[in-house]
Chain A
């Protein structure tokens, strides 16, 4: 099972209560998570092109595009 995980942070501090949205190749919604107290998130997607969108509490939106290859797990940091 592939894993796409990481941490949402603001100036190196983890952000709890941010939302991370996973979008598929054509921009369609696939899943969304709320970060825990360490700012972490974890998805189980299939291989392919994905976009992560981070939403910060109180406003702020950051996008990260990633490519997940077969058998790969990817660690992605999102600065909001």
Chain B
């Protein structure tokens, strides 16, 4: 059985349970449901709010380097710490957090395999106690733009650069504009980027939220989809978090050298004027 390209980027729930008191390990929860942390979290974990803390309050973007440094420092995280991210929805937003940490050059960052769901379903302890946080000094690296695709690059790559649309088949086809547990909203048009292949993020995950084995992932993304190390790949979804999950799979677990996450994703592309869109015949959208 083949190992992941970077096996060190995943830690198990057992590993986290064994390192709860380890001061060099910072456990961080990132959730789509931002109230989940207050209802109970892993002992000692701090929370990162994907909208209010990771993203700029006014402009649509995530915080700049200085903002990232202030944010991490305020959470008691230093740049040499090992950061373990976990969250709900099979680590969608934790993977987004991982990608964000990588963007600013944090070296020792991990995902807890299976995320919050696995931790909970295993009956492990959660607490509502606030962690003791001592502010730290954090120095970020220059942004690593090799992991991020912006609109112009995506548009220039239509029909040329392999793109993986990781949303559900219903969203890809244009029947739905958002996942089925969220109200329909966002982009002006439904559908997908022409030429993109629909590989829902969930193909990469087992039912307990852990990642499939390297061999299984290679069979899907290498065999079935035909991605290879010789061509760059762009992943996208609706707002860039599910595609971070697949970015993690392709870049970290399978080791493809050039994988960019398009965090503008469908809420941006599907609202652009005049760009090409594909949609299944007969799916007028919601």
Contacts and interface: CB of A to CB of B under 8 A. Distances in A.
A31 B169 contact: no
Contacts of A33: 181
Interface string A45-60: 1100000010111110
A28 interface: yes
B88 A30 contact: no
B181 A24 contact: no
A28 B180 contact: no
Contacts of A28: 168-169, 200, 202
A29 B202 contact: yes
A70 B108 CA distance: 50
Interface in A12-47: 17, 19, 21-22, 24, 28-34, 42-46
Main secondary structure of the interface of B (DSSP, over half): loop
Contacts, number: 67
A67 B88 CA distance: 27
Interface string B231-247: 00000000000000000
A1 B181 CA distance: 12
Given A24-B168, A24-B170, A34-B33, A55 B180 contact: no
A31 to B, nearest CB: 4
Return the 4 tightest CB-CB contacts between A and B, nearest first.
A29-B202, A31-B181, A31-B180, A45-B180
Interface of B: 33, 36, 88-90, 117, 120-123, 168-170, 175-176, 179-184, 200, 202, 205, 207, 286
